[in-house]
Amino acid sequence: MLQKVWRLSHLALALIAGIFILLASITGLALATEPVIEHSKATSFHHLDELDLETALLNIKAEHPEVISIHRNAYNQISIETIDENFESQSFYINPFTGKKIANISERSAIYEFNTVLHRSLFLKSTGRFIIGLTAIFLILIVISGFALLLKRYGSFRKIFSKEKYDGTAAYWHSLASKYFLIPLFIIAISGAYLSVDRFLIESQPQDIWDFEQNENTAETEILELENINTFDNFKVSEILQIDFPFAASPDEYFYVKLVNAELLVSQVSGQAINRVSETPALKTKRWSFHLHTGDFSWLWSIILGLSSLVLVGLFISGILIWLKRIIKSKAKNKCPKDEAEIVILVGSETGSTFGYASRLAEAFIKLKKKVYVASLNQYSKFESAQHLLILSSTYGDGEAPYNASQFLQKLKNINQKAHYSVLGFGSTDYPKFCAFAEKVNQELHKKEGLQALTAYATVNKNNESEFINWTSELSRALDLNLEIQPPKEAQTTLKIKEISCLNCDQNFTLCLKTKKINNIQSGDLLAITPKADGRERLYSIAKVDNKVLLSVKKHDMGICSTYLSQLEKNKTFKAKIRKHPSFHLGNKKNVIFIANGTGIAPFLGMIDEAKTEKEMHVFFGLRKPESFELYKDYFNRNQSKIKSLNLAYSRQEQNSQYVQHLIAQHPETIIKCLQNDGCIMLCGSLAMEKEVKKEIDKILKAKLLTNINNYSLQIICDCY
């Protein structure tokens, strides 16, 4: 419930203040460059804390006897005002170490002026300042609610900074950027808001330095020389902001000294301060708010401010995208009313991807003329005609419900429904509580009277398409239907042939392809090719080698797709879809065993190529004949030093014919070491091979560790067909 409040307020505040936040971010970004530029100029001095004020004053007075005042700005530029021979007042920058003039004061660039006014008051004077102040206050609330949502998303504060797997979604970027820029953004918002509050409510004013009893003894007294004024001995140039010289050599004329945190009036007669006022706490807060908000005191902080402004623009855009994705995906276009539906699909989804699966499932039912209703888990109520409840839910936080499923378990208790159910959990084995919420839902449904399981509880790891298809096949069987799930709608990518090899003795060949999308591709992803001839989609596991896509294909004499590919020529292009396959990426495990037969080796060639040397990698590869290996030889040779062992099995040679599973049986210690050290075993190739290899691994585990393969199932990752 509370989470809903956070989420809604985060969105509402951002939508209301969005345009002003955008404006302030863009102008803020422009303004952040000013301190960086000013601090890098020759007029900016870095070691003013090493320069005695007295020395500097004498230098200046010697060069410019008519000096009226001296100023140090936040960029550590020292300027003086003096009267020239024509009695005109002149201001310019000086070098305090020599007293010499070094540059004229140029007017602040019109671009900065423009951005400042826009940033501060939108060219609307007080009204604009008020709006901007309000925007800053909104930003504070957005940051706070965002922080609450981050906590919710990751489960606890500690987990926020644990590594999150890259998935390229807006939600990924939104949370990544916000967790790292949370503190700078909060500082920007707080300081900006304080500056407005000070202007409208506090109106902090310095104490009046002139408010003191001036003793009117006008008896001629001697005026001290500059070097005899003791007060100046105590300061470094870095401590002062301004010094006004006495207007005349008379006892009732004083030096006015403005320090960073105090003001002094210094007598020319005694050389002592005759009055001093300190900065009030309100002014101090205002001063620090100003520094933190503008970054004027440090180029480094300005860069952080500039980056934060940029990030804020990005957060706004990604935030809107997340919101749009959520409403578009969750807007289930139900054709039949809720109480007429025979099949009810209930979805728990945080960022909307699970809804994509739900609607593909719903379409398959609709094609079979079934009455389907799709809703979020929180919309659970009694469905009068429901016979089947199909529940698809992801898991968030630390094994918790996604936002639109948070009330489901509560509702389930109070509603009595007679139906069959099936639960499919979406999650990721990167998180310790894999699909914990879906599992919990499954248990609760199991306890509920009137509800009966339709299929076994199943999971989909990292949106693995084949696990989803497997579950739908189970479902088809249980319902005695023929569900045809359409592949997800994706954009086609153009690929250009860079190299195509000849067929080897196994009829295998490799293709090297160039594409603009190469940066989004990782070895292990899938290439979905649909030849026009039959309109059926084929999936190939691909590798990324030298920034090109590498795939290996076996040409079947009757195979439409493989024949089509084998006839392509260099520099020809064709179109295909690239499908992310995060569950089959090379993770950060230290120990990895690659097991493949035939063309299944392709994704591993890329993984070996990109792997860091500290990984311990073993390869088990099944081929037909020693000559078959020629096709892949170069890829292995270039990475020879990285591969701990390369084990080849040949199935069609005169002597010693064997399959890859036989090699596994011969190396039990390699398998055991890998599994016990939290490594992973990756399989790619034929389904028959997968079955045999798993059988061998199971045997090894039973014999040596008195356990079985099910206890290590999360460490064995397959992509077999």
Partner 1 sequence: MKKAIFLFVGILTLMSFTNIKSTDPYKCLIQMKNYSGEGAYIVISLLDENDEYLKTIHVRGEDDEWYHDISEWWNFQGKNKASLDGITGATISGGSRAVTSLEINPDWIGKNYSLRFETAVEDKAYHLDDIKIKLTQELLKGQTLKGSGFIRFVKILAQ
Footprint on this chain of partner 1 (rule: CB under 8 A): 68, 81, 83, 87-89, 203, 205-206, 208-210, 244, 247-248, 250, 252-253, 256
CB of 247 to partner 1, least distance (A): 4
Q: Does 297 bind ligand FMN (CB under 6 A)?
A: no
What span, in angstroms and rounded, lies between the C-alpha atoms of 471 and 393?
Answer: 14
Smallest separation, CB 460 to ligand FMN (Å): 7
Quick one: which of 349, 508, 599, 628 contacts ligand FMN (CB under 6 A)? 349
| Exposure b/e, 612-626, CB count within 10 A at least 16 = b | eeebbbbbbbbbbbe
Q: How far apart are CA 452 and CA 449, in angstroms?
A: 8
Shortest reach from residue 75's CB to partner 1, in Å: 20
Indicate the residue type of 427: G
DSSP-derived secondary structure for 420-463:
EEEEEEEE-TTSSSTTHHHHHHHHHHHHSTTEEESS--EEEETT
Is 433 a binder of ligand FMN (CB under 6 A)?
A: yes
Q: Does 128 bind ligand FMN (CB under 6 A)?
A: no
Give residues with Cβ within 8 angstroms of 468, minimum separation 6.
357, 424, 460, 485
Residue spans of beta strands (DSSP E) within 443-525: 451-453, 458-461, 493-500, 508-514
Span of 382-390, 424-432, 543-551, 635-643 interacting with ligand FMN by CB under 6 A: 424-432
- Closer of 82 and 175 to ligand FMN (Cβ): 175
Number of C-beta neighbours around residue 17 at 10 A: 21
Binds ligand FMN by CB under 6 A, chosen from 25, 351, 422, 628: 351
Q: Give how many residues touch ligand FMN by CB under 6 A.
A: 25
639 binds ligand FMN (CB under 6 A): no
The residue among 157 and 247 lying less far from partner 1, judged by its C-beta, is: 247
Decide if residue 371 touches ligand FMN (CB under 6 A): no
Q: Which x/- pattern over 199-218 shows residues binding ligand FMN (rule: CB under 6 A)?
A: --------------------
CB of 364 within 8 A of CB of 311? no
Residue 86 Cβ, how far from partner 1 at the closest point, in Å? 9
- Decide if 570 contacts 499 (C-beta within 8 A): yes
For 232, which DSSP code? Answer: G
**Burial (CB count within 10 angstroms: exposed 0-12, middle 13-18, buried 19+), residue 603:** buried
206 binds, options partner 1, ligand FMN, none, Cβ within 5 to 8 A by partner type: partner 1
**Least distance to ligand FMN, CB of residue 436, Å:** 6
Q: Are 25 and 200 in contact (CB under 8 A)?
A: no
How do beta strands 372-376 and 343-348 pair?
parallel
Nearer to partner 1, 206 or 559 (CB): 206
| DSSP states of 548-604 | EEEEEEEPPTT-HHHHHHHT--TT-EEEEEEE--GGGS--S-SEEEEEEEGGGGHHH
687-691 long-range contacts (CB < 8 A, ≥24 apart) are 687/720, 687/721, 689/595, 689/597, 689/600, 689/622, 689/659, 689/660, 689/661, 689/720, 690/718, 690/720
Q: What is the DSSP string of 681-716?
A: EEEEE-HHHHHHHHHHHHHHHHHHHS--GGGGGGGE
Phi and psi torsions of 27, nearest 5°: -65, -35
Complex with ligand FMN: residue 355 or 365, whichever CB lies closer: 355
Q: Least distance in Å: CB of 125 to partner 1?
A: 9
Is residue 146 part of the contact set for ligand FMN (CB under 6 A)?
no
Say if CB 574 and CB 662 are below 8 A apart. Answer: no
Measured from the CB atom, the residue of 66 and 363 that comes closer to partner 1 is 66
Q: Contacts from 78-83 at CB under 8 Å and sequence distance 24+?
A: 78/43, 78/45, 78/48, 78/237, 79/105
Judged by CB under 6 A, which of 350, 439, 616, 696 binds ligand FMN?
A: 350
89 binds, among ligand FMN, partner 1, none (CB under 5 to 8 A by kind): partner 1
**Between 164 and 698, whose beta carbon lies closer to ligand FMN?**
164
Least distance from partner 1 to the Cβ atom of residue 207, Å: 8
* From the list ligand FMN, partner 1, none, partner contacted by residue 203 (C-beta under 5 to 8 A by kind): partner 1
| Min dist. Cβ of residue 163 to ligand FMN (A) | 11
Strand (E) or helix (H) holding 107: none
642 sits near ligand FMN (criterion: CB under 6 A): no
- Say how many CA atoms lie within 13 Å of 675 toward its Cβ: 23
Told to check if 468 binds ligand FMN by CB under 6 A, we report no
425: buried, middle or exposed (CB in 10 Å: 19+, 13-18, 0-12)? buried
Q: Which does 244 bind (CB under 5 to 8 A by kind): ligand FMN, partner 1, none?
A: partner 1
Task: Provide the β-strand partners of residue 212.
Answer: none
Smallest separation, CB 87 to partner 1 (Å): 4
Closest CA to 680 of 648, 708, 643, 713: 713
Among 463, 472, 523, 670, binds ligand FMN (CB under 6 A): 463
Q: E strand or H helix at 93, and its extent?
A: strand 89-94
| Residue whose token pair is 């020529």 | 569
Cα angle 74, 77, 79; round to 5: 115
- Specify the residue, 63 or 164, whose C-beta has the smaller distance to ligand FMN: 164
Binding site partner of 250, from ligand FMN, partner 1, none, Cβ cut-off 5-8 A by kind:
partner 1
Q: How far is the CB of 472 from ligand FMN (least distance, A)?
A: 17
Residue from 394, 541, 562, 597 that binds ligand FMN (CB under 6 A)? 394
Tell me if 354 contacts ligand FMN by CB under 6 A. yes
- The residue among 207 and 530 lying less far from partner 1, judged by its C-beta, is 207
Q: Closest separation between CB of residue 126 and partner 1, Å?
A: 8
Q: What backbone phi and psi angles, to 5 degrees, belong to 499?
A: -150, 140
Contact region with ligand FMN (CB under 6 A), list: 44-52, 430-438, 447-455, 699-707: 430-438
Q: Is 431 in the site for ligand FMN (CB under 6 A)?
A: yes
* Residue 648 to residues 513, 547, 625, 667, 707, Cα–Cα distance (Å): 27, 27, 10, 12, 28
> Is 399 a binder of ligand FMN (CB under 6 A)?
yes
179: contact with ligand FMN by CB under 6 A: no
**Closest distance of CB 428 from ligand FMN, Å:** 4
Given 45, 93, 147, 154, the residue binding ligand FMN (CB under 6 A): 154
696 binds, among partner 1, ligand FMN, none (CB under 5 to 8 A by kind): none
With binding defined as CB under 6 A, does residue 96 bind ligand FMN? no
Query: Does the protein bind ligand FMN through residue 308 (CB under 6 A)?
Result: no
Query: If contact means CB under 5 to 8 A according to the sort of partner, which of partner 1, ligand FMN, none does residue 97 touch?
Result: none
User: Which does residue 87 bind out of partner 1, ligand FMN, none, counting CB within 5 to 8 angstroms by kind?
Assistant: partner 1
**Residues at the site binding ligand FMN, with contacts judged by CB under 6 A:** 153-154, 164, 349-354, 394-399, 402, 426-428, 431, 433-436, 463
